[in-house]
Structures are given as structure tokens and as C-alpha cells.
Amino acid sequence: MGTILKYKYSFSTLPGIRRAYLDAFPENTVDQQIMDSTFDQLSAVRNVIIHSAGVCDDNYLQSQKETEGLPKGEKGEKIKLNGDHAYKLLFNCQFTCGVLIMIVDQWIRDNQRPNARPVAAEAPIEAGTADPPKTA
């Protein structure tokens, strides 16, 4: 998706990524997953770590008001991110991404053009290989 749409959308911000997905798929296809608050949480935590070395800033304070479930932080102090917060955040994000991938994959299968090369059979990629396993 990024290669086709990289000039029309910004894939460097969460709003840009969301807009690209919402525009690319029919209404109610990916809406619930791409708008999941897990992405807002991950984005806020990522941004405060990357841009402020984990020190709570105005942007993070605003995110705390808008998004439930964020590790607490006081302006000028490190956010209180612990293993439990990190685990829940990453687990929820991984789960939501998995569901999003399955929805997009199913949409692609359901909307293939007639006479198009069929989508590969559903076979998991083996760990440690770059290519999917051979199918009969």
C-alpha cells in the first residue's frame, strides 16, 4: 500500500496512516481496527520516548487527556512505563495488527479482478525463511 500511495499520504504519522487505510477500503471494512485506541497509546508512548527521552511533555499531557490507558506522567518527569504497561501495549497492538492484516487479506481475496493471478494459498511462512513454503 505504501508504494502505491506514498505520494498521496503521509505514512510517517498515525493520522496519515489512518487516512490512507480509510480511503483505500470501503466503509466499515477496516474502520474499527485502524481507529483502535491501541494505536493512539503506542503512538503517544513512542513519541514521548523518541522525542523527549521519555520525559512527559505538553504533547504527552494532551495524549493522556484524550487516550485512556497511557502510563501516567507529570510534566518534566519520566513517564511511569513499566513491563506490565509495555506488555499490554505491545500485546494489544500485535493483536489489532493481526486482525487488520486478516481483514485486508480477506478483502483482497474477495475483490480480485476476473482473470487475475490468484492470491497464494493460505500457508504460513516458515520461521527463518524469506520465502513462503511451497504449496501443491
pLDDT tens digits for 3-32?
Answer: 776 778 888 899 999 999 999 999 999 999
* pLDDT score at 122: 55
Is the Cβ–Cβ distance between 86 and 93 less than 8 Å? no
Range of lowest pLDDT (6-10, 46-50, 69-73): 6-10
* DSSP state letter for 7: T
In tens, the pLDDT along 74-128 reads: 999 999 999 999 999 999 999 999 999 999 999 999 998 777 676 665 555 444 4
- Gap between the Cα atoms of 90 and 97, Å rounded: 10
64, pLDDT greater than 70: yes
This prediction has a pTM of 0.75
Is the Cβ–Cβ distance between 20 and 9 less than 8 Å? yes
C-alpha of 70 from chain center:
17
